[in-house]
Amino acid sequence: MSLPGLPWTIAEAARRFADRTAYVTPLGWSLTYEDVDRISDELAVGLAARGVGVGDVVGIVLPAGPEYLLTYAATTKLGAITAGVNDRLSDREREAILDVAAPRLVVSADDAPPADSVETVLAGLRVTGEAPPVLDDDPDRPVAIIFTSGTTGLPKGALYCNRQLAFITQTDVGDTWDGGGRSFSGTSFAHLGFMTKLAGNLRRGGTTFIMERWRARPALELLAREHMTTVAGVPTQLALMLRDPAFDDFDLSSVQHIIAGGGPVTPGLAEEARRRFGARLATRYSCTEAGIGLGTAFDDPDEDAIISVGRPHASVELSLRDEGGAPITGTGTVRDIGEVCLRSPAVMSGYWRDDEQTRTAFTADGFVRTGDLGWIDDRGRLRLVGRSKEMYVRGGYNVYPVEIESVLSRHSGVAAIAVVPRTDDVMGEIGVAAVVPRDRDHPPSLADLRAFASPHIAAYKLPEAMHVVDALPLTVGEKVDRRALVDEIEKLVT
């Protein structure tokens, strides 16, 4: 049986948890579960007065914070659709997204300046003491447009309806309530995680400390001060916390679990995170279009989260496809690399206002194409080798950067690494290792890296140049900006 929609969940969480703190804002004041329900009611009435109704799109161009949370909640209570826009994008990028979303109304920082208390948050848009009519549950009612975080091409918005969000909630928490602890949120609310998992988070009844702009030191301070039991974030955030010079000065003994998603976790990072946090590690793998996908569990063998992204969640089907879209029925070896495709009740309904790209996103039998390449080992674990667009060809051989990074991340002198191609007159393309060394004054040499990796990967995959950097460039989604690295490295040889 499908779970009720987000508006019902918000009201039920307020009934069950009432004055329990749901969110602590970047400025330090808090919202209770009752506050979330009451203020989103008042805001929904205010949005309705501005012409927002069922099926309309509301664009939210706000940083992570109570204003974004409450506007999203209010929009769902009207049966309208939220189109979240990462506020860290450039003006041009924001405009491109809003052109695709075609919202009836946009809520931005001009409409919602940062508040200093519960009663001042979104004060100019709320109608105090009022509530909207209760909506009937409709599994097919659109709820959210979540835009992909790619660095090229026109923006594409994945459409999610009540039925997909209900399935994701069911998968994450079932029909249970309570059991949540204290955690922090350090990624944009416009991303997949917040937009699709809000109902599940509300059901847990935990307290979330919102970080408007994630930074390693404040994150470590929060973990220690609030005695948090779980660290959750993208791999880049884990790496930055571990690299903080003061890491060992913090009492992180309360941390029991680490959850990493939003990108591949290199073996070196997985092993270091486990060791230095003294905690169990679980990984999550999906994409904006698929909703949910695969993962490892805390009680799985340690090896699983080090070398793979785990196995499919219940009711998620995994398939590898060749360039023509045909299934690859492999023998559980690295020779059987294909594009990772996923099918489940969680996959998007399609791209908003883009039928052509929607057709391209799916296989003929309804699997979402993730754009990632990987192979399934003899234990059913998916091992990623990179994005299809990241693969390069050296002397006629395909080379997958993630495979090389997985080996070199374990080198004792490497804090972070990314391998990208550089054009070459003889080989066509060669690999360049961009390395963040653990000791800036004594970085590993190219010869060191090649000698370390040569027992594990073929000679043609070994990097043939090295570039020492203070930090890897990141996209607004906190992922390595490989295009920027390629551009930077090409400039060095021209």
Instruction: Tell me the per-residue pLDDT of 62-76, one tens digit each, with 9 for 90 and over.
Output: 999 999 999 999 999
Cβ proximity of 490 and 422 under 8 Å: yes
Asked if residue 391 has pLDDT above 80, the reply is no
State residue 187's pLDDT score.
84
**pLDDT above 90: percentage of residues in the chain:** 69
Asked if residue 356 has pLDDT above 90, the reply is yes
- Under the banding of pLDDT at 50, 70 and 90, the label for residue 131 is very high
Higher pLDDT, 104 or 420: 104
State residue 493's pLDDT score.
60
State residue 148's pLDDT score.
86
State residue 424's pLDDT score.
79
CA dist., res. 464 & res. 480, Å (int): 20
Cβ proximity of 233 and 186 under 8 Å: yes
Asked if residue 103 has pLDDT above 90, the reply is yes
Q: Quick check: helix, strand or coil at residue 488? A: helix
Give the global pTM.
0.86
CA dist., res. 20 & res. 455, Å (int): 55
pLDDT digits (tens, 9 = 90+) for 317-351: 999 998 888 899 876 777 788 999 999 999 999 99
Asked if residue 2 has pLDDT above 70, the reply is no
State residue 465's pLDDT score.
92
The mean pLDDT value for 172-186 works out to 91
State residue 150's pLDDT score.
53
- Pairing label, strands 280-285, 257-260: parallel
Mean pLDDT of the chain: 91
The mean pLDDT value for 96-118 works out to 92
Asked if residue 235 has pLDDT above 80, the reply is yes
Q: Could you tell me which of 426, 390, 394 has the C-alpha nearest to residue 263?
A: 390
Question: Which range, of 44-48, 244-248, 384-388, averages the lowest pLDDT?
Answer: 384-388
- Under the banding of pLDDT at 50, 70 and 90, the label for residue 277 is very high
Asked if residue 298 has pLDDT above 70, the reply is yes
CA dist., res. 314 & res. 316, Å (int): 5
67-71, 86-90, 475-479 — most confident range: 67-71
φ/ψ of residue 379, rounded to 5 = -110, 10
Asked if residue 128 has pLDDT above 80, the reply is yes
The mean pLDDT value for 193-221 works out to 94
The mean pLDDT value for 177-201 works out to 92
State residue 75's pLDDT score.
98
pLDDT digits (tens, 9 = 90+) for 133-155: 999 989 999 999 999 865 456 78
What is the side-by-side order of every strand in the sheet holding 350-351? 105-108, 57-61, 81-84, 142-147, 157-161, 350-351
**pLDDT above 70: percentage of residues in the chain:** 98
State both tokens at 264.
Answer: 């591949």
List residues bridging with 346 in a β-sheet.
none
State residue 153's pLDDT score.
61
Domains of the chain: 6-376 (3.40.50.12780), 390-492 (3.30.300.30)
Q: Quick check: helix, strand or coil at residue 76? A: helix
pLDDT digits (tens, 9 = 90+) for 436-451: 999 999 999 999 999 9
Q: Could you tell me which of 472, 383, 476, 456 has the C-alpha nearest to residue 419?
A: 472
315's CB contacts (< 8 A; 6+ apart) are 167, 171, 344, 345
CA dist., res. 448 & res. 203, Å (int): 50
